[in-house]
Amino acid sequence: MTKQGFLKKLYNDKDLQLVAPNDIVKAAYLKKSDSFLASARLLRDNERFEESVSLTYYSMYYSVLALFFATGIKCENHSAAIILLDEIFGIDNSAIKSAKSERIDKQYYVATAPVRSEVITLIKTAESFNAGLLDVIDRLTKDKIDAFRKKLIKLIG
C-alpha cells in the first residue's frame, strides 16, 4: 500500500482527522512529553535501559501529537504520525523513526538489550527533536496552520 493509500485508509477509518486546533490538548501532550523524558532519564540513571528507551520514544511521539493538535490534526497511528511529520510539515522524521525502531527492538527482542551509551545518545536525540518541534509550535501562525491543513487535505483527497 502506498503512503497516500495508507493515509486515506486511516482517514476513512477516522484514525486520521482534521479537528479544531486545541491549545489545551497541545499543552497536555507537551507536559506528557516532558514527563516521559524526565522519567526516561531516571530510568537510565537506575540502569533500567529498556524502559528508558520506551519512554524516550513516547516523549518524542507526544511532542509530535502536540504539534498536530496545535494545527488541528488528530492522528491515532504512530507510523502515520511519522509519515505526516515529513509529508505535511517538512520535518526530518529520521530521529523518531529510529527511536520507534529501537523501542520495538528493545521491547520485543530480548537479544538486543540496550546499553547505557545507546540510551544516553537516544535521550540527547529526543531532547533535540522535542526542542525542534517546540520551536515549530511556537512559530505557528494562522497562515501556517491553514497551509498544513490544506496539505493534509490534498494528501488524503
Q: What is the pLDDT of residues 20-40, one digit of tens each?
A: 999 999 999 999 999 999 999
Write out pLDDT tens, residues 73-100. 999 999 999 999 999 999 999 999 999 9
For the beta carbon of residue 95, count every other beta carbon within 10 angstroms. Answer: 19
**55 pLDDT more than 90:** yes
Instruction: Write the pLDDT tens digit of every residue in 5-22.
Output: 999 999 999 999 999 999
pLDDT at 111: 66
Domain ranges across the chain: 12-147
Fold of the CATH domain 12-147: Four Helix Bundle (Hemerythrin (Met), subunit A) (1.20.120)
Provide the pLDDT confidence category of residue 114 given band limits of 50, 70 and 90.
confident
Nearest to 74 by CA among 154, 152, 157: 152
How far apart CA 53 and CA 51 sit, in angstroms, is 5
